Amino acid sequence: MRQDAEIEKQIVRYLLGDLSDVEKASLDDRLMLDEEWFDRFLAMETELIDQYVRDELSPTEREKFEKIFLSVPHRRRQLESAKVVLKVLNEKSAAGAPTVHAPGAWRARRPAIGWSLAAAAVLVVVAGGSWLMVKNQKLTTQVERLQTEQQSQQRQEQERQQKFEQQRARSDELAEQLRRGQDRLVQLEQRGKTPSPQPLILSFALSPTINLRRDPSSDRGAIPKLSILPDAHQIELQLELADDEAYQSYRVELRSVEKVVIWSRNWRSTRVAEPGPAVVLRLPSRLFRRGYYILTLNGARADRRLEPVGDYHFEVVSP
């Protein structure tokens, strides 16, 4: 019995808007799956309407009843029906019992019995309409929740695609710079003014990777590709930073896709202002073979405490 009272109390709080969003969602799911709870819900809905028309609710409960409970159209119609029923019952009670003009008690009671049956029929129709409205309201709530989740996923996918487009544009720009440099070398050679050999340094810009699946090879479209020439001596990586947080130094680790550490160093802060704040690294080209790599950047505070800055995923491909 105590458990029944707690259930009814929770349903009343739900009807008067006293539950949190989490509690309300949990009760919505329970009402959809548990027929017994749904029957209790309909009973408590009718009970609240009865208490309202009989003026048995507290002032606070009446206010919540009028603002929240009656915001659902079918409940307002149910309330009007209950008022009509109560008015007729009060009029019958005030008029007193009818005079008996024929033998037998059944004839004297027949008007009251007829009214009771009519009232019961009204309540059955109202309850049926209430059930359909509640079912429809639950389905509408679930559809809206699914639509919200879908919109959130679409926004994340759009942000991810935008980030990928920015990375690709930056890689294309660096590739164009490299092409122009190579064209300049060809022109100088043709003029017989070949400069003394200089170590070839390839430069790439990388952004922190977001929303990447556990297996990078399954997410090829989101990973920048670095084309390293065979005669390159060093690889310059500009690690773009998400914010302007300043650190004394950085800890850098280069790992394979199998999480094996290939190279690690403590790196002094080297930053550039354009196109945005970044840490610039130069690594020997011999470290890289074809495949996927993860570059992890951690910032060191003055007390030598390390904080994660970002992971930079990329793939090395043949030129």
Q: Give the pLDDT confidence score for residue 116 in this predicted structure.
A: 46
Q: Give the pLDDT confidence score for residue 51 in this predicted structure.
A: 92
- For the stretch 234-273, pLDDT in tens is 889 888 887 767 787 889 999 998 889 999 988 776 666 5
Percent of the chain at pLDDT > 90 equals 16
Question: Quick check: 291 and 277 in contact, CB under 8 A?
Answer: no
Find tokens 């022109």 and name the residue. 187
Q: Give the pLDDT confidence score for residue 101 in this predicted structure.
A: 39
Q: Give the pLDDT confidence score for residue 137 in this predicted structure.
A: 64
Q: What values do phi and psi take at 288, rounded to 5?
A: -105, 135
Q: Give the pLDDT confidence score for residue 266 in this predicted structure.
A: 87
Q: Give the pLDDT confidence score for residue 169 in this predicted structure.
A: 87
Task: Enumerate residue ranges in the chain where pLDDT < 70.
Answer: 1-2, 95-139, 192-198, 211-221, 244, 269-275, 319
Q: Give the pLDDT confidence score for residue 117 in this predicted structure.
A: 43
For the chain, the domains span 2-95+110-156, 199-317
Q: Give the pLDDT confidence score for residue 294 in this predicted structure.
A: 93
Instruction: Determine which helix (DSSP H) or strand (DSSP E) holds 203, and give its type and residue range.
Output: strand 200-206
User: Can you read off the two tokens belonging to residue 43?
Assistant: 């009973």
What is the C-alpha end-to-end distance of the chain, expressed in Å? 77
Asked: is 199-317 a CATH 2.60.40.2550 domain? The reply is yes
Q: Distance (Å, rounded) from C-alpha 49 to C-alpha 83? A: 9
- Maximum Cα interatomic distance, the chain, rounded to a whole number of Å: 136
Q: Give the pLDDT confidence score for residue 96 in this predicted structure.
A: 62
- The SS3 assignment for 276 reads coil
